[in-house]
Amino acid sequence: MTQVVDVRGDGTLVDLLDRLLAGGVVIAGDVVLSVADIDLVRVRLLALLSSVPTAAPTGRGDGSGGRS
Amino acid sequence: VTDTLYYAYGVLAATEPAAVTAEVRGVGGAEVSLLPGARLAVAFSSVPADQFEESSLERRLEDPDWTSTLAMSHFEAVAGLHSRVPVLPLRLCTVFRSAQRAVATVDANTLPLEQALATVAGCDEWSVTVRGARAPATATTPEPTTGAEYLRRVASRGRQRAEEMVEAEETARDLHALLAGLAVATEPAVDTAGSGVRRTYLVHRRNARRFLDVLERSDAGATRLAVDVRGPWAPYSFVPVLREAA
């Protein structure tokens, strides 16, 4: 069985946090939070969120979001 | 001490002012704007310092609701940019103390950032996870009545898991052979805690349909396995590792 989840509408929160906290360009230097701080946040949050059923994030409801 | 900080979402070519329209909103619904550097620009919005200064940010990030809302805002801002122009997403919570520092940081890394932007142009990221379908224990199976019976069942479940894992690895390899040719770049396979194999692909939009067709057709033999496809993401996994700004 193949399931395709369109993350623009049906992505899960765990998925989203995993991408946003593990991916993306990491800037070291004059930023507010260090890389180590963010890694720690990721570990804590994913542990917390993986232990509860995940709710699908909803759009902010203005109807002009990223769906195309 | 300033009252606002610069929450940065992504890096794009400075020649792409069309990337930002009023529809692209960031944290707290604030408008996203560009800080242009020499050749690259940083897409950002202003955020209140009292929420995003180091000490309070660390505390707020421990609140899953606050962080989820932040993540959704970040995701939507990046998706808004990504739907218009090539963009390299920044990691969640990249907050600069000054506009000048933000611009200086990307300017100091122009070469790797421009190379990565050229690679991801016109592409989306997709993740493909192959895992055991995990048939749930049937309600009709009676509870084990003896310790030996219980241990036999545990062993049998363990064997089934191991067999599924081997099948998942084989299927993932076969699928990868078909998918790699349709992708611009691939991230190495990740073992998702013994339950499956995940790969991440960078796929040009003109090949997206063919890429998904391969996955949808893969159903045929793999009845014990599930193929989980997620996308289209902005290229979160296909970004360069930067050296520290001097």
Q: Do B53 and A32 touch (CB under 8 A)?
A: yes
User: Among all chains, which residue has been given the structure tokens 């009023």?
Assistant: B22
Confidence of residue B114 (pLDDT cuts 50, 70, 90): very high
In angstroms, the CA B68 to CA B63 distance is 9
Nearest chain A Cα distance for residue B7, angstroms: 10
Query: Nearest CB to A4: which of B23, B91, B229?
Result: B229
H runs (alpha helix) in B93-146: 99-108, 110-120
What DSSP assignment string belongs to B168-181?
HHHHHHHHHHHHGG
Q: How many CB atoms neighbour CB B73 within 10 A?
A: 22
* Rounded mean pLDDT, A45-49: 75
pLDDT tens per residue across span B29-85: 999 999 999 999 999 999 999 999 988 888 898 888 898 899 999 999 999 999 999
Q: Looking at residue B169, what is its pLDDT?
A: 87
Confidence of residue A14 (pLDDT cuts 50, 70, 90): confident
Q: Looking at residue B179, what is its pLDDT?
A: 96
H runs (alpha helix) in B121-146: none
Q: Which residues pair with B41 in a beta bridge?
A: B12, B36
Q: In 3D, which of B203, B82, A57, B164 has the Cα closest to residue B215?
A: B203
Check pLDDT > 90 for residue B116.
yes
Q: Do B67 and A41 touch (CB under 8 A)?
A: yes
Percent of residues, chain B, with pLDDT higher than 70: 92
Q: Looking at residue B238, what is its pLDDT?
A: 96
User: Among all chains, which residue has been given the structure tokens 């545990």?
Assistant: B154
Single-letter amino acid, residue B167? E
* Rounded mean pLDDT, A4-20: 84
C-alpha radius of gyration, chain A, whole number: 15
Encoded tokens for B197: 């194999």
Chain B residues in contact with A19 (beta carbon < 8 A): 75, 233, 236-237
Confidence of residue B223 (pLDDT cuts 50, 70, 90): low
pTM of the model: 0.83
pLDDT tens per residue across span A18-43: 889 889 999 887 788 877 777 787 78
ipTM computed for the complex: 0.82
Confidence of residue B225 (pLDDT cuts 50, 70, 90): confident
User: Among all chains, which residue has been given the structure tokens 């929160």?
Assistant: A13
Interchain CB contact of A59 with B (< 8 Å): yes
Q: Which residues pair with B187 in a beta bridge?
A: B200
Q: In 3D, which of A55, A39, A44 has the Cα closest to residue B93?
A: A39
* Residue B133 DSSP symbol: -
Q: Looking at residue B219, what is its pLDDT?
A: 64
Q: Looking at residue A59, what is its pLDDT?
A: 41
Q: How far apart are the first and last CA of chain A?
A: 26
The residue that leads in pLDDT, B157 or B104, is: B104
- Determine the distance from the C-alpha atom of residue B124 to the mean position of all C-alpha atoms in its chain, rounded to a whole number: 10
Encoded tokens for B16: 């792409």
Q: Do A32 and B88 touch (CB under 8 A)?
A: no
Q: How many CB atoms neighbour CB B31 within 10 A?
A: 13
Q: Looking at residue B85, what is its pLDDT?
A: 94
- Determine the distance from the C-alpha atom of residue B102 to the mean position of all C-alpha atoms in its chain, rounded to a whole number: 23
Nearest chain A Cα distance for residue B156, angstroms: 24
- What is the three-class DSSP state of B8? strand
* Rounded mean pLDDT, B206-228: 84
Q: Looking at residue A38, what is its pLDDT?
A: 77
Q: Looking at residue A56, what is its pLDDT?
A: 44
